[in-house]
Amino acid sequence: MQTDRLKGNLELLLLSALTMGPAHGYGLIRRLREMSEGFFDLPEGTVYPALHRLEREGLVSSSWTDEPGRPRKSYRLTPVGERQLAVERVAWQRFGTAVGAVMRGTS
């Protein structure tokens, strides 16, 4: 159930986490875990394919930085990604409000 809930929202979570600034994949996973107080402990294998998909769609861009020891790929939001995030946020809020209204009505 938890995995099903995550499926449609992983991209939204990743885009949201990137509003705090550029990050590499591992850093994003940690950031989401900290922001959600441990609730989103994302399966690592799902994050990179999602990031690559977002990159292909032009919602994030990436660059390689030379950090001590090895090169590191870092992701950042693009202007297109920011606009898409704004749209998704509104949609998510409407969805959450609607679900909340139904839940309240049946409790």
Partner 1 sequence: MNDPIATYVADLQKELATSPRRRAAVLAEVEDHLRHAARDLAGEGYAERDASQLAVARFGTARSMGVKLSGGARGAWLVFGWYLQLMVVLGAGVALFGAALLVAPALSAATGGALESEWARQSLQSDISREPCWLSIRCVTGGRPNQADVLLFEAGLTVTGLAIAAGHHTVQRRLAAWASPETVSRLGAALLGGFALLTLAWGIWGWTFYGTNGAGANWVGVVLLFGGVAFVGARWPWQAHEAASAS
Residues that bind partner 1 (CB under 8 A): 24-26, 43-46, 48-49, 52, 56, 69-73
Q: Shortest distance, CB of residue 80 to partner 1, whole angstroms?
A: 19
State which residue, 70 or 104, has the beta carbon closest to partner 1: 70
Burial of 85 (0-12, 13-18, 19+ CB in 10 A): buried
Q: Shortest distance, CB of residue 28 to partner 1, whole angstroms?
A: 10
State which residue, 34 or 44, has the beta carbon closest to partner 1: 44
The interaxial angle of helices 10-18 and 25-35, nearest 10 deg, is 100
Q: Shortest distance, CB of residue 3 to partner 1, whole angstroms?
A: 11
Query: Rounded distance, CA 58 to CA 53, Å?
Result: 9
State which residue, 58 or 96, has the beta carbon closest to partner 1: 58
Q: Which helix (H) or strand (E) element contains residue 99? A: helix 79-106
